[in-house]
Homo-oligomer: A and B are copies of this chain.
């Protein structure tokens, strides 16, 4: 049985203001909840329907779920079709000091605004073994329910920090290369790529901010191989991130 104040509290976590205030966020669905439970994230509470609890009694769910009705699940879920399990997790303190820029590939996201793109990029990073992402403060919050959903559990394994990107680029060690995805860049398939460094992906419509450009050591571009005059102006930011990460990993092997 869920109290009205609990329902109100859980629903408030779909709002960034309250996530910041309470330092908690919502995760829905068996796969995502289990991946978070098997990570460094700390669970506050897990709510599940009777059916779900019966089907997962022998599983890896280490904390006892609180049984609620499907009707109650409908009230706290952010989904059109509620899944039968919802977890409340604590937001960890991940700062730029937790990341190490040397000897690793790091994605740097400059104002990625679309929650779907952000979730997908975190999933890409996880697939390609990229363990850290630095987001500009204006990027969408990774604890937004749509981002959590889109990442399919990958937020459990990728460290995401929010920081002033210019500060980082100005203060990083000089021998860390900085790649920027730009339409006027060098053909990514014809240029040399180091196995580590920072890869900057710009905002969906504005691209990379003007003030970061002087810090890019190599502009890279995904060629279209399309000779028609009329064609797409660009690729979606997440697609560009996927193709670029794949190419960096292909080269390093």
* Contact B239 A129, beta carbon cutoff 8 Å: no
Q: Within the oligomer, what is the number of copies of this chain?
A: 2
Task: List B contacts of A137 (CB < 8 A).
Answer: none
- The 8 Å CB contact of A226, one of B129, B230, B239, is B129
Contacts of A239 on B, CB cut-off 8 Å?
120, 123-124, 238-239, 242
User: Is there an interface contact between B129 and A228, defined as CB atoms closer than 8 Å?
Assistant: yes
For residue A236, which residues in chain B have a CB less than 8 angstroms away from its CB? 120, 123-124, 150, 238
Chain B residues with CB below 8 A from A243, complex form: 242-243, 246
Contact A128 B226 (CB under 8 A): yes
Q: Identify the closest chain B residue to A125 (Cβ).
A: B232
Per-residue contact bits, chain A 216-253, to B (CB 8 Å; 1 contact, 0 not): 00000011111110111111101100110011011011
Binding site for B on A (CB under 8 A): 35, 38, 116, 120, 123-124, 126-129, 150, 152-154, 156-157, 189, 222-228, 230-236, 238-239, 242-243, 246-247, 249-250, 252-253
